[in-house]
Chains A and B, each alone.
Chain A
Amino acid sequence: MPLIMVFITVFLAFIIAWLLIREYGLKDFVVYSFSCLFLYGVGFLLIYLPSVISNKLGLIILIISYVISTAGYLLVYLLTCVILFGIVSSIPVMKFHKSITSINYYSLGVITFICILILWCFVSYVGSHEVSEGEMERGLINRIFLPSPGQVLSEARELLFQKEFYYHLFVSILRIMMGFGVAIALAIPLGILMGSFKPVEALFEPLFAFIRYMPPTAFIPLSIIWAPTINSVPSILIFIGVFFYLLVLIMDHVANVPGELLETSYTLGANKLEVLTMVIYPAVLPGILDSCKAMIGAAWTYLIAAELVGGGMGIGYIISTAQRYSQTSQVFVSIIVIGIIGIITNAIFDFLYRWLFPWKRMEKSA
């Protein structure tokens, strides 16, 4: 079985390579591969530069690291084999709610991406279509609608080496942190109070329910009028879009704290403040982190929506300019970068969850 998978992997790798070579020619393909290898080496150089300067041992490490980086290239191919092996080995043992090893889990995740990539390569490089009268271009779909992987790759190479791009990215991330941070900082205490005490809930919930049903994007024009500078519009919109939903989620988590825990703490002599801080707060914290993980996706939506409208800065601004000049591949690169940031954010949240709540792991295994 594993042998078949190795064959399939190599076969798939060849398909992708073949499609890329067809598009760019062998020479460009080889050059591109080596430039990747070169980048690999530069990375190692940067890491080991201090030790190279300080002693001779560093030089040896540098050479070794270059060898390792080459081996790393091979490793990527091997890893693909392992991934596919993981998928195959995990499918027959499917059972309800049964957990699988993490290598199998990530293998299955990766295969989806690989499949999409292959599909994308096919519609871009196989067959041909008419661009204008008598003028044919490779691929089934017009490049304006869907750029080819190669185009996106070269666009990425161009865009990702510009300082300006990172500036815009930085601005966007900062706006998310501002809007989201303020929303969390206010929603946690208020949500806990509203979930714990009915009078507090009665005071705010009707108003917030009213606001919640208004689409946050409808506030863009208003916040443009109200905001002190156009720069603060995205953060304000993120706050509006996230805060009220986060509040409901937190209230729900508080409502789900078992009554026995609260009653037990009363009989242990805790007063209200102690029940809030020692029981309810730690009990809902994991749920809050989960909710934040879900809401940060919405935060990106509102960020981009606000930046598309105006502001002259941020990822959304890049997307809107690219769209204006029909640079679809640039739009693609920006979206993919956001996706990658999303994956990283997810990983950070998962890490935080495991790090902050070791007791949750115990609970699951029990």
Chain B
Amino acid sequence: MSHIETKLPEAPPVKLEVRDLCRNFITYSGETVVAMKGLNLDMYDGEFLVVLGPSGCGKSTFLRIVAGLDNPTSGSIKLDGRPISEPGPDRGMVFQKYTSFPWLTVGQNVSLPLHIQGRLMPYLVSRNRIFYLLFCTFIPGFKERQLYIQQKVKEHLKDVGLEKFENVYPGSLSGGMQQRVAIARTFANSPSILLMDEPFGALDAQTRVQMQELLLEIWGKNKSTVLFITHDIEEAIYLADRIAIFSARPTSVKEVIEVPFGRPRSQEIKLSEEFNQLEINIIRSIKDEYKKM
């Protein structure tokens, strides 16, 4: 038997391990809503996993639990072998709502996580000219750190094509640009895993396609792991290595589909027979779940 095992391709290391996850909500009227029951999922290092499912089934709840923003009723989640209990910089999150800090310029938004990594409240200092100069002269390593941050910010803005907007306030940017800021900011934090909750859901179709291409590009460059939620099936197939379809409430993983397209992908795969067949299968699968609701 042993020789067969050695012939099998080695499974990539597990990045995120979800076991028997349950989440009950207690509504104001006192009823218990079982949103999630017995959810199991494995994510591999460097993987792009997309979660699809009927709306209201608990996709966001799942992502929030992974992010540490919500706690499961029972079950375990491990990231890189360590259990998750609270939010942390190792799990970057991009929401559907625009979350740029409106009082900071685009550049400052992206630099914020880098400043937080540095602690010592240097961020507040870096916004005041006099303090900045004082710290530069008297605190060893401060200036180097600031220059490093500035350079990093430039790099990440360049990745998302916003280098010209470094000193612009996010309030004047379009929705697509705001999400680019959010993506750049999250990558600047170099998280172990990137969590995205319908990040392009509020964008128009054209911008969405652009953003998908951009995301794949950055993902390839940073070799990160992405857990991506969407309700757009075409988007799911175009982006994913694997697609996890969630069942109706109480939700669990109904099936996991391997997407057979290689990388890098062009938009043309959307026209292929294989793509359409996959899309039809997924639509059927989700429709079944809607019937159960």
- In the complex formed, the residue of A with least CB distance to B95 is A260
One digit per residue, 1 when the CB lies within 8 angstroms of any chain B CB and 0 when it does not, for chain A 325-366 equals 000000000000000000000000000000001111011011
Does B97 make an interface contact (CB < 8 A)? yes
Q: Is the CB of B99 within 8 A of A274?
A: no
In Å, the complex CA distance between A363 and B102 comes to: 8
B-side contacts of A362, CB under 8 Å: 168-169, 171-172
A-facing residues in B170-199 (Cβ within 8 Å): 170-173, 182, 185-186, 189, 195
B-side contacts of A267, CB under 8 Å: 67-69, 87-89, 91-93, 186, 195
CB distance from B85 to the nearest CB of A (A): 13
One digit per residue, 1 when the CB lies within 8 angstroms of any chain B CB and 0 when it does not, for chain A 268-282 equals 111000100111001
Residues of A within 8 A of B (CB-CB), count:
25
CB distance from B179 to the nearest CB of A (A): 12
Binds A, one of B3-11, B39-47, B116-124, B264-272: B116-124
A-side contacts of B123, CB under 8 Å: 278
In Å, the complex CA distance between A29 and B196 comes to: 76
B-side contacts of A283, CB under 8 Å: 101, 103
- In the complex formed, the residue of B with least CB distance to A364 is B171
CB distance from A43 to the nearest CB of B (A): 37
CB distance from A262 to the nearest CB of B (A): 10
Q: Is the CB of B189 within 8 A of A269?
A: yes
Q: Is the CB of B124 within 8 A of A277?
A: yes
Does B58 make an interface contact (CB < 8 A)? no
CB distance from B186 to the nearest CB of A (A): 8
Does B107 make an interface contact (CB < 8 A)? no
Does B51 make an interface contact (CB < 8 A)? no
A-facing residues in B120-162 (Cβ within 8 Å): 121, 123-124
A-side contacts of B112, CB under 8 Å: 268, 278
CB distance from B111 to the nearest CB of A (A): 11
The total number of A-B Cβ pairs within 8 Å is 80
Q: Is the CB of B87 within 8 A of A266?
A: yes
B-facing residues in A254-310 (Cβ within 8 Å): 258, 260-261, 263-264, 266-270, 274, 277-279, 282-283, 285
CB distance from A180 to the nearest CB of B (A): 25
Cross-chain contact of B103 among A269, A270, A357 (Cβ < 8 A)? A357
In Å, the complex CA distance between A360 and B168 comes to: 12
Does B72 make an interface contact (CB < 8 A)? no
Does B113 make an interface contact (CB < 8 A)? yes
Q: Is the CB of A258 within 8 A of B91?
A: no
CB distance from A258 to the nearest CB of B (A): 7
CB distance from A267 to the nearest CB of B (A): 4
In Å, the complex CA distance between A279 and B115 comes to: 13
Cross-chain contact of B99 among A261, A270, A359, A360 (Cβ < 8 A)? A261
In Å, the complex CA distance between A274 and B121 comes to: 8
With contact pairs A268-B116, A269-B116 given, residues A359 and B95 touching in the complex (Cβ less than 8 Å): no
Residues of B within 8 A of A (CB-CB), count:
34
Q: Is the CB of A282 within 8 A of B101?
A: yes
- In the complex formed, the residue of A with least CB distance to B92 is A267
CB distance from A27 to the nearest CB of B (A): 60
B-side contacts of A269, CB under 8 Å: 88-89, 113, 116-117, 189
In Å, the complex CA distance between A359 and B182 comes to: 17
Q: Is the CB of A264 within 8 A of B99?
A: yes
In Å, the complex CA distance between A360 and B113 comes to: 23
B-side contacts of A274, CB under 8 Å: 116, 121
Cross-chain contact of B69 among A263, A278, A285, A366 (Cβ < 8 A)? A263
Q: Is the CB of B171 within 8 A of A363?
A: yes
- In the complex formed, the residue of B with least CB distance to A258 is B97
In Å, the complex CA distance between A312 and B189 comes to: 63
In Å, the complex CA distance between A260 and B170 comes to: 16
In Å, the complex CA distance between A285 and B189 comes to: 27
CB distance from B95 to the nearest CB of A (A): 5
CB distance from A333 to the nearest CB of B (A): 43
CB distance from B93 to the nearest CB of A (A): 4
CB distance from B97 to the nearest CB of A (A): 5
With contact pairs A277-B124, A283-B103 given, residues A264 and B189 touching in the complex (Cβ less than 8 Å): no
In Å, the complex CA distance between A43 and B237 comes to: 76
Q: Is the CB of A279 within 8 A of B101?
A: yes
- In the complex formed, the residue of B with least CB distance to A365 is B172
Cross-chain contact of A277 among B92, B117, B121, B172 (Cβ < 8 A)? B121
B-side contacts of A268, CB under 8 Å: 89, 92, 112-113, 116, 185-186, 189
Cross-chain contact of B172 among A258, A260, A357, A366 (Cβ < 8 A)? A366
CB distance from B132 to the nearest CB of A (A): 16
Q: Is the CB of B93 within 8 A of A264?
A: yes
Q: Is the CB of A260 within 8 A of B97?
A: yes
In Å, the complex CA distance between A274 and B95 comes to: 21
Most chain A Cβ neighbours within 10 Å, of B101, B104, B182, B185: B101
CB-based closest 10 A-B pairs: A269-B89, A363-B171, A266-B87, A362-B171, A359-B169, A362-B172, A267-B93, A362-B169, A268-B113, A264-B99
Chain B residues with a Cβ under 8 A of chain A:
67-69, 87-89, 91-93, 95, 97, 99, 101-104, 112-113, 116-117, 121, 123-124, 168-173, 182, 185-186, 189, 195
> Would you give 13 A-B contacts (Cβ < 8 Å), ordered by A?
A260-B99, A263-B87, A263-B95, A264-B93, A264-B99, A264-B182, A267-B93, A268-B185, A269-B189, A270-B116, A283-B103, A359-B102, A363-B172
| Inter-chain pairs besides A267-B69, A267-B195, 10 sampled, C-beta below 8 Å | A258-B97, A261-B101, A267-B91, A268-B92, A268-B112, A268-B189, A278-B123, A285-B103, A360-B171, A362-B169
